[in-house]
Structure 1
Amino acid sequence: MSRSGIFVRQLFGDLSYQTFKPSNLPPQPHIVIDDRLDSKMKEAYFLLGKLDGISKLIPNKDLFISMYVRKEALLSSQIEGTQATLDDIFDPHISKHMNLDIEEVLQYLKALHHGDLLLKEIPLSNRFIKQVHHVLLSSTRGHDKEPGEFRRTQNWIAAQGKSLKDAAFIPPSVSDMKEALNQLETYMHHESFMDPLLKISLIHYQFETIHPFFDGNGRMGRLLISFLLKSYGLLEDYTLYMSYYLKKNRNEYYQRLMEVRLNGHYEQWVMFFIDGVIESTKHALNTIDKILDLRDSHLKLLFTLKGKVKQTALLLFDYLQAHPIIDIKQASLSLNKSFNAISSAVETLINMGLLKKVEGHLRYRIFSYEPYLEILRDGTE
C-alpha cells in the first residue's frame, strides 16, 4: 500500500471501476515538519490562544458566538451550493419564507448545538458522528439519504447528474469504508504525541476521503473540525470556523485533498490546513474587534439621549444584538413595550444611522441593524 492508500478494482469489464482504500493514520513515513511548517504551527497556536482569551472578554459572549455560528452554518452550506443569504437567516418572518436552502442552514445550526450537548455524554466516535449527521440531514434535502446511517452501497463524487463512470473520485467500498472508519475512530482517541492541529488536519482529510454518508459529508466534515478543536482543548468555545477560508479557496481545497490521495502529499495538505487556521483565526479576531468597536461607538451615541427615549432605545439596542433584522410588532411583544414606544425608538435609531428600513416587505415594517450586518456579511455574498 502506498503512503496514502491504493485504488482497488471493483467488478469487471465495462462495469469495472476503481475505489480508493485509504492507508491508516498516522501516515507512514511520518509527516515532515520543516522550519516553514513549524513556524506556521507556532503562529496558529499563538492566534488560537489569543482568540480563546479575547472571546472570554466579550460582553454577551454567548450571543456573539450564536451570531458567528449562524454565519458559519451559512458559509458551510454555501460551499455545497446552498442559495441563502445571512439576511434570510435573520429574517424575523423566516417561518413564512422557509425554503430548502434556508432549512439546510438551520439544520446545520441544530446539528452543531446537538453535537455540543452530545460531547458532554459521549466522546468523539462513529456513534457521535452518526447522531450529529442524523440531525444535520433531518427535515431538509437529504432526508431521504439515510440520515445518521453509514452508507450500505457505493457512492461517488461527480458533477450533478453524472454517473459513477464520470466520477472525479470514488470513495472506499463499503467493506473498506467500515475498516477505515474503525481505524479513524481509534486514531481520534489515541493518546499520541502528534500535534493536535496536525491530527485534526489529518482526521478531516481522512473523513472526507472515506465519505461515509450518501449526503452531507462536506458539512459533517467541517462540523467535525469544530468539535475536534473543542474536544482537544484548543478552544473553549466555538469561535473558529474554517468555512470562510474553505469557501474562498474551494478549488485548492478539493485539489489538496486529491493530491494526498493520488500522490501522498500530506505535508502540502497540512500546510494548506494550517494556513486556513491562521487566516480563519485572524478573521475571527478582526470580526470581534469590529463588533466591539461598533458596540462602543453606538452606545456612546445612545447615552447622549435623555429620559424614556434613552431607556427604550437602549432596550431596543440590546435586542438588536440578537435580532439584527426586526419587525416592530414582534420587537414590541418581545420587549413588553407598546408598538408606539418601539416605533419611536426605531425612528431615533434610524436618525442616528443605526437602523435602515428594509424595502420589499409589503405587509410588515422591517428594519435592519445595517452596520452590524455589514460586518457579519463579509464573505457570505
Structure 2
Amino acid sequence: MKISQFQSGNFQSINAFNYQYFLPNDINQLFEIDDSLIQVQMEKSTRLLGELNAMARMVPNIDLFIMSFINNEATQSSKIEGTQTAIEDSFKKESDIKIEQKDDWLEVNLYIKAITEAINKLDEMPISTRLIKQIHEILLSSGRGVKKMPGEFRTSQNWIGGNNIDTADFIPPHHDFVNKLMGDLENFLHSQHLVPDIIKIAIIHYQFETIHPFLDGNGRVGRILIPLYLVSNNLLSKPLLYMSAFFETNKNSYYQKLMKVRMDNELSNWLLFFLKGVEQTAKHSIEILNDVLNLKDNLTETIRENTGNRANNNLRLLEKLFQMPFINVEDVRVQLEVSSATAKNIVDDLVRVEILKELTENKRNRLFAFRPYLNLLNKPFPEYE
C-alpha cells in the first residue's frame, strides 16, 4: 500500500449504547513510501541516529549516563499523563520525597523500572505482546494503577479525553477486537522488509495508541516501545533516544497528528512529525552527551587542582555522581568503601569546589545534589518546527 493511500479504519456502533468506537485496519502489510518529503526527512533522521551511535562509542563508560537519560524519559513521559515530578526528584530515595509528591514519584520510578527491565529482557526475548504485558505489569504494579488490570489487555471499553465516554475525544476499538489487533501489530513488528525500521516504529506507535489495549498506562507503554524497537533492530547500539520530551514539548501537535490519521487517513503528516522528532531528539541527546563530556573533563581538572591528596577519592565519587546525583555522607561511605570521616571530607571537598550543593540544613542525614549535572539534564527541548 502507498503511504498516501493509507486507510486508517472506520467507526462502528454498538446498538445497545449511544457511542461509536474506532476500529483500525490491520497494519501488517507492505508500505510504499511515495512522498519525497518523508524520504528526505527519513534520511536526516537516520543520519542523526548514526551520529548518536557514534557519539555513544566515544563516551567512556556510556552506561554511567544511560540511567540519567532513562530518568529524564520517565519524568517527561509521566508529565504527558499529568504527573508532576521533576527529574531531580526521580533520582531521590523515597525517604527524601515529600508525602504529597509520593504518588507521582512512585509512577516515575515504576516507569524507570519498567524500561530498565524491558531493555535487559531484549537479550532473552523479542518485542512481543508477552513483553508488552510485562512492561505494563511493572508500570501498574502499585500506586494509582494497581486496580487497572496490570499486565492484562482490557476486557471493557475505555476512552481518551473527557470525563466520561459521552464527552470523550476518542473511543478506541471495542475490547473484543484487542487481541486480534495486537496480534496483527506483533506480526508487523516481526515482519521483514515491509518498510524501513524507522518508519515501522512510527506506524507501530500510532497503531498501539489507537488500539489502546490496556485500561491505563497505554501512553507510557507506547513510548517505551520506541527505544526498545530502535535497540532491538540495531538502529541504536545503546538505549539513548527517548522521545517523550519531544512529545511533551509539542503535546498539542502530537495528539492532533495522531487524530488526523484516524479521522482523515493523514499518515504522511504523522510520519513527518515522528521523523522530525527522531531527528530533534537525537540532536538534543548528542548535545547533552557533548556537554556532559565537557563537564566531566572540567570537573576532573577542578578536583585535581583544588583537593590535594584526597583527589583520587574525590574523582572516584565524581564517577558515581553521574549515576546517583543525589547523595549523602552514608552513601559515599558505602559506595567508596571508606570510613565515615573520610566520606565526610570527600563531600566537604566537593561542596567547597561547588560540585555538590547541600539541599538540607540538618546536621544529620544531610542531602547533597550534583547540581551542574542536573542543570544539563534539564536543558530545554526545542519546539517542533
Q: TM-score, normalised by structure 2?
A: 0.92
Partner deviation per Cα, 1:100-158 (whole Å, 9 max, x = no partner):
21111111111112212322222222122112211111122211100110001111112
Moved more, 243-252 or 191-200: 191-200
The match for 2:128 is 125
Does residue 183 (structure 1) correspond to residue 184 (structure 2)? The answer is yes
The match for 1:111 is 114
Partners of 2:144 and 2:363 lie apart in 1 by 30
SS at 1:316 equivalent: helix
The match for 2:244 is 243
Count of residues paired in the alignment: 374
- 8 Å contact from structure 1 (residues 320, 369) kept in 2: yes
Partner deviation per Cα, 1:83-107 (whole Å, 9 max, x = no partner):
211221222x434537121111111
* Cα shift at 1:319: 2.4
SS at 2:58 equivalent: coil
Q: Which letter does structure 1 place at the counterpart of 2:108?
A: V
The match for 2:329 is 328
Partners of 1:75 and 1:359 lie apart in 2 by 26
Does residue 348 (structure 1) correspond to residue 349 (structure 2)? The answer is yes
Partners of 1:300 and 1:183 lie apart in 2 by 55
Moved more, 171-180 or 310-319: 310-319
SS at 1:303 equivalent: helix
Q: 2:13 aligns with which of 9, 16, 20?
A: 9
The match for 2:195 is 194
RMSD over aligned Cα atoms: 2.1
* Cα shift at 1:221: 0.1
Q: 2:27 aligns with which of 25, 28, 53?
A: 25
SS at 2:11 equivalent: strand
Moved more, 266-275 or 309-318: 309-318
Q: Which letter does structure 2 place at the counterpart of 1:4?
A: S
Partner deviation per Cα, 1:18-70 (whole Å, 9 max, x = no partner):
00000121679844321x22121111111101111211221221111111111
- In 2 relative to 1, CA 29–369 (structure 1 residues): closer, same or farther, beyond 3 Å? closer
The match for 2:103 is 100
The match for 2:289 is 288
Partners of 1:263 and 1:27 lie apart in 2 by 20
- 8 Å contact from structure 2 (residues 329, 344) kept in 1: yes
Q: Which letter does structure 2 place at the counterpart of 1:7?
A: F
Q: How does 1:97-176 map to 2 (within 5 A)?
A: 97=97, 99-159=102-162, 162-176=163-177
SS at 1:214 equivalent: coil
Moved more, 325-334 or 212-221: 325-334
Partners of 1:217 and 1:351 lie apart in 2 by 46
Moved more, 244-253 or 360-369: 360-369
The match for 1:270 is 271
Partners of 1:49 and 1:314 lie apart in 2 by 32
SS at 1:6 equivalent: strand
Q: Which letter does structure 1 place at the counterpart of 2:53?
A: D
Q: Which letter does structure 2 place at the counterpart of 1:319?
A: K
Partners of 2:156 and 2:32 lie apart in 1 by 32
Partners of 2:31 and 2:185 lie apart in 1 by 18
The match for 2:213 is 212
- 8 Å contact from structure 1 (residues 358, 366) kept in 2: yes
The match for 1:311 is 312
- 8 Å contact from structure 2 (residues 29, 194) kept in 1: no
- 8 Å contact from structure 2 (residues 33, 39) kept in 1: no
SS at 1:108 equivalent: helix
Partner deviation per Cα, 1:251-294 (whole Å, 9 max, x = no partner):
11000000000000000000000000000000100000000000
- In 2 relative to 1, CA 29–371 (structure 1 residues): closer, same or farther, beyond 3 Å? closer
- 8 Å contact from structure 1 (residues 133, 147) kept in 2: yes
- 8 Å contact from structure 1 (residues 4, 27) kept in 2: no
Partners of 2:302 and 2:363 lie apart in 1 by 31
Q: Which letter does structure 2 place at the counterpart of 1:150?
A: F
Partners of 2:354 and 2:144 lie apart in 1 by 39
- In 2 relative to 1, CA 27–166 (structure 1 residues): closer, same or farther, beyond 3 Å? farther
SS at 1:353 equivalent: coil
Moved more, 70-79 or 337-346: 337-346
Partners of 1:81 and 1:371 lie apart in 2 by 27
Query: Any gaps of 5 or more consecutive residues in structure 2?
Result: none
- 8 Å contact from structure 2 (residues 72, 377) kept in 1: yes
Q: TM-score, normalised by structure 1?
A: 0.93
- 8 Å contact from structure 1 (residues 19, 171) kept in 2: yes
Query: Any gaps of 5 or more consecutive residues in structure 1?
Result: none
Does residue 234 (structure 1) correspond to residue 238 (structure 2)? The answer is no
Partner deviation per Cα, 1:276-327 (whole Å, 9 max, x = no partner):
0000000100000000000001111112246532223222222222221211
Percentage of pairs with the same residue: 37
